[in-house]
Amino acid sequence: MPLSSRHLLGMQGVPKEDIKLILDTATTFREVLERPIKKVPTLQGKTVVNLFYENSTRTRTSFELAEKRLSADSINFAVSSSSVAKGETLKDTIQNIEAMKVDMIVVRHSATGVPNFLTQISKCNVINAGDGIHEHPTQALLDMYSIRERLGKIEGLKVCIVGDIAHSRVAMSNIFGLKTMGADVSVCGPASMIPKFIEDLGVKVIYNIDEAIQENDVLNVLRIQLERKAGANFPSIREYRQYFGIDQAKLDKAGKSDIVILHPGPINRGVEISSEVADGLNQIILKQVTNGVAVRMAVLYLLGTQN
Ligand code: CP
């Protein structure tokens, strides 16, 4: 069965069957990543351009590796050394890139809606690698894959997203994806970082971190996004760490030795998560990164072979 869309713009509205297909396909590619020769010919002859208008370590490297593992031709578009610096518009940039017979575009941009806009001006398959504070669908998919790998299921699990919900595209994509897959989703953070509409999405709000740890099977800990002025929403980093930072003392107090801790990265060690927890037995942070390559291979493969 093919995916129900030619693009992956967000998790909102993506059917359960599509999510399951991506996660199951990723399981096959995860096995490829353990082979001595980590490459399959699946996307031979396809060309993918990675357009990153915003900084990235994990997502950009992961997409590039996924494309190479699938034998696609991969182009990295460096905004700082491109004609964008001479004033070229996004539309002109895309139309020039497409004129070189590119098949798929992976795009990260600080503006919400850019991936959607690209579907209107281009015939390529478009994959959203993070747009502003809107969505980051492949992060949610790799988070769900990692939860399923660790706990054997998603349905019925209690998952709490902790931190700067208001500025987080990761939170939005996780909420949509996890709810579709039947998880019981909550958020926890300072009131100033919880959007007013969040309960309309069927998400419980917890303001006390001890309660959040106590009640949930999984915590997805978000970075405090200082570049999006998140620091203006609480008095000091020290106070944030004291009330919402995940550390071993809080886990021990709740008696939750089996709680699973995720973090999409990059980590602010000692702010939203202590080093002890970030490197400890409950976290699966680097497994998320490894699984991200397999999940992105699945998305590229399923979109790139359907037309
Ligand atoms: N998780 C994530 O999107 O990380 P990068 O910003 O490094 O891609």
Read off the pLDDT band of 231 (50, 70, 90).
low
Work out which ligand 1 atom sits closest to the CA atom of 62: 8
Residue 227 has pLDDT above 90, yes or no: no
Q: What is the pLDDT of residues 179-222, one digit of tens each?
A: 999 999 999 999 999 999 999 999 999 999 999 999 999 999 99
- Superfamily of chain region 137-288: Aspartate/ornithine carbamoyltransferase (3.40.50.1370)
Work out which ligand 1 atom sits closest to the CA atom of 59: 8
CATH class of 16-134+290-304: alpha beta
57: Cβ below 6 Å to ligand 1? yes
Ligand 1 centroid distance, CA of 82 (Å): 22
264: Cβ below 6 Å to ligand 1? yes
Residue 84 has pLDDT above 70, yes or no: yes
DSSP characters for the chain? ---S-S-B--STT--HHHHHHHHHHHHHHHHHTTSSS----TTTT-EEEEEESS--SHHHHHHHHHHHHTT-EEEEEEGGGSGGGGT--HHHHHHHHHTT---EEEEEESSTTHHHHHHHH--SEEEEEEETTTB-HHHHHHHHHHHHHHHS--TT-EEEEES--TT-HHHHHHHHHHHHTT-EEEEES-GGGS-GGGGGGT-EEE--HHHHHHH-SEEEEPP--GGGTGGGGSS-HHHHHHHH-B-HHHHHHHT-TT-EEE--S---BTTTB-HHHHTSSSB-HHHHHHHHHHHHHHHHHHHHT--
Q: What is the mean pLDDT of the chain?
A: 95
Read off the pLDDT band of 175 (50, 70, 90).
very high
Read off the pLDDT band of 230 (50, 70, 90).
low
What residue's CA is closest to ligand 1, atom 5? 56
Confidence at residue 225, expressed as pLDDT on a 0 to 100 scale:
78
Work out which ligand 1 atom sits closest to the CA atom of 61: 8
Question: Where, residue-wise, is CATH 3.40.50.1370 in the chain?
Answer: 16-134+290-304, 137-288
